[in-house]
Chains A and B, each alone.
Chain A
Amino acid sequence: MSRDLSYAAVIARKNEIMKASLGIDFQDFIQSPIAFDYERMMRETGFSHDDLVRIQRETKVGNTPLFELTRLTEAVRKIAGPGKGATILVKDEAANASGSFKARRASISAYQAMIKGYKGMIAATSGNYGAAVASQAAQRGLKCIIVQEVYDSRGVGQPEIVEKGRACEAYGAEVLKLTVGPELFYMLLRTLEETGFFNASLYTPFGIRGVETLGTEIAEQVRGRYGKDPDAVIITHAGGGNLTGTARGLLQAGCNDTRVVACSVDLSGLHMASDIDFNRKSFTTGHTGFGVPFATWPDRVDVPRNAARSLRYMDEYHLVSQGEVFYMTELLTKLEGLERGPAGNISLTAAVALARQMDRDQIVVVQETEYTGAGKHHNSQLSFARENGIEVRRGDPKENQPGKSIVIPERLEQVWGREQDIDKLRLSYLKNAANILPAAQWSENDLAFLAADVKKTPAWVQQHMADLAK
């Protein structure tokens, strides 16, 4: 029997496809159009922390080095006020198999797919995650398909995305390379249905639990070396899984007072589904085009309920400009002898601004790096931007305009980024919830869920409900 492959028909089969491809019945956790039992869903993955560590060790994931950036810390202290300038540490996640923290996320899915007897796994991603899934699938003897948004309608792709596709193929994956559009999800569903493979979605409990080890390792390493907890951990934020998993790990390790700081590249003004803007972003992830919508409504993803719920764990949200990140990427190379990819250096950029305001005896951790190379290099991205008519110059990064001009700071002093009002994001989240179910119909359980989901009290949510009606 041939199935109807039209866009509407495939999307309508979403729930059954998801259930078959994940082995999770989300209905079991859903309590209302708003609330679901998040913690039980995470628990019922069935893995203890020790299991996660063991599974990851089998496939070359985790136990990555934590480095002190001594020369950068020194440089920040020179421009900071008296007594200011926290020690900056970086977790070198590029050391994972496939070169990024995403291996943590893919490893548990690959293990689950293997023990459940799936023949292969599929992920829809344009990022490092594809290479991670391919690398983990290879090690578990599974077939792998990556569904990737690569090109604009002229067939042109940003060098960084092209490189990410190449990496997937290098690890033995079949890569479905698509033009710009949200229909990537449709393509994912179609391919899951055709193959019966496991859905290695970025947003399942398996993926997010895999990142928890990043948080626990940071806690152990900082305590072991400095005899105290990290004061702040800065996390590059896009879909929310990196932040959610890391923060959960920190909490499991008892780092209750550690500030969890999100950071994204500010791409305000560029449309994420635009065929024209697609190649004017100069960043493929870690930007506000993902970071803001995913924070303010996590359940917009390829699974019915998202295990990555960033506002649940976020204390602050810092934005940085493209030029600032490229500057810091070059500075990391020259000062610290570490050549790493730009996306991983987004949080490094925010670390400079934060460390400058923190006391000298405090510790700020940049929690990831990623591999670099042809295409996936700041010079590649800047050269490509210039060829596409984007102005590239040195100057005051405040003049940076996404899609028009990339302004690389002249001095470290100019690296500040800016803080985003997180309460605004919380309210925007509540507004999105009210679009699903009117606030007047929220039960006590819904209120408690929403409060936990924005890291506030039910009273705070109630206080702001009146504003939602407006």
Chain B
Amino acid sequence: MSKIIKGTWVEIEQIVLKPEERAANLPEETRKVPYVLRVSGFLVEDAEMDTEVHIKTIIGRELSGTLKVVNPSYTHSFGNTVPELLTIGTEAEQ
């Protein structure tokens, strides 16, 4: 497995609360899953994926967790065209 180099922008995952540690009065489907945190930062030491690592966040805080993503990116978009919207407010509709 290839090593991820120190200083790489990564995302880590941390189980904040296990299901049994969570708040009371949660709906069933929420209570049975852990409460999970993800956060991005620069890798402090060379490491392999899915191992425990430290990161330095963009504001310089050091946090730890499991290394999950290298170079985390945003891919959200405008979605697929929803044809139902197209004619609203056009002459075609009047």
List A contacts of B58 (CB < 8 A): 169, 172-174
Mark A153-173 against chain B: 1 for CB-CB distance below 8 A, else 0. 100000100110010010011
Task: Determine whether A429 belongs to the interface, using a CB cutoff of 8 Å to chain B.
Answer: no
Task: Determine whether A437 belongs to the interface, using a CB cutoff of 8 Å to chain B.
Answer: no
Say whether A6 contacts B21, CB under 8 Å.
yes
Give the nearest-CB partner of A334 in chain B.
B89
List A contacts of B60 (CB < 8 A): 143
Say whether A162 contacts B16, CB under 8 Å.
no
- Report the bound CA distance from A143 to B59 in whole Å: 6
Say whether B74 contacts A166, CB under 8 Å.
yes
Task: Determine whether B2 belongs to the interface, using a CB cutoff of 8 Å to chain A.
Answer: no
- Report the bound CA distance from A172 to B35 in whole Å: 25
Mark A380-404 against chain B: 1 for CB-CB distance below 8 A, else 0. 1111101100001110000000000
Residues from 35 to 92 in B contacting A, C-beta threshold 8 Å: 35-41, 57-61, 74, 76-82, 84-85, 88-90
Say whether A180 contacts B61, CB under 8 Å.
no
Say whether B22 contacts A7, CB under 8 Å.
yes
- Report the bound CA distance from A36 to B86 in whole Å: 52
Say whether B36 contacts A333, CB under 8 Å.
no
Task: State which of B16, B23, B59, B88 has its C-beta within 8 Å of the C-beta of A144.
Answer: B59
- Report the bound CA distance from A145 to B29 in whole Å: 29
Task: Determine whether B26 belongs to the interface, using a CB cutoff of 8 Å to chain A.
Answer: yes
Residues of B in contact with A, size category: 35 or more
Mark A308-337 against chain B: 1 for CB-CB distance below 8 A, else 0. 000000000000000000110011011100
- Report the bound CA distance from A162 to B38 in whole Å: 13
Say whether B57 contacts A174, CB under 8 Å.
yes
Say whether B82 contacts A274, CB under 8 Å.
no
List A contacts of B23 (CB < 8 A): 7, 181-183, 186
List A contacts of B90 (CB < 8 A): 334
* Stretch of A52-60, A234-242, A370-378 at the chain-chain interface: A370-378
Say whether A166 contacts B85, CB under 8 Å.
no
Give the nearest-CB partner of A178 in chain B.
B37
Say whether B22 contacts A183, CB under 8 Å.
yes
> In the complex where A120-B59, A182-B23 touch, is A380 in contact with B77 (Cβ < 8 A)?
yes
List A contacts of B74 (CB < 8 A): 162-163, 166
A120–chain B nearest beta-carbon distance, Å: 7
List B contacts of A464 (CB < 8 A): none
Say whether B79 contacts A159, CB under 8 Å.
yes
- Report the bound CA distance from A384 to B60 in whole Å: 35
Task: Determine whether A76 belongs to the interface, using a CB cutoff of 8 Å to chain B.
Answer: no
- Report the bound CA distance from A374 to B27 in whole Å: 31
> In the complex where A159-B76, A181-B22, A183-B17 touch, is A195 in contact with B61 (Cβ < 8 A)?
yes
Say whether B26 contacts A273, CB under 8 Å.
yes
Q: List chain B positions with a Cβ less than 8 A from chain A.
A: 16-17, 21-23, 26-27, 29-30, 33-41, 57-61, 74, 76-82, 84-85, 88-90
Residue contacts A-B, CB under 8 angstroms, 27 given: A172-B58, A172-B59, A174-B58, A175-B40, A177-B38, A177-B39, A179-B36, A180-B30, A181-B35, A183-B16, A183-B35, A187-B16, A195-B61, A274-B29, A274-B30, A330-B89, A335-B89, A375-B76, A375-B77, A379-B81, A379-B85, A380-B77, A380-B79, A382-B82, A382-B85, A383-B79, A383-B82
Known contacts A274-B29, A377-B79; 5 further A-B pairs (Cβ under 8 A): A174-B61, A330-B89, A378-B85, A382-B79, A383-B81
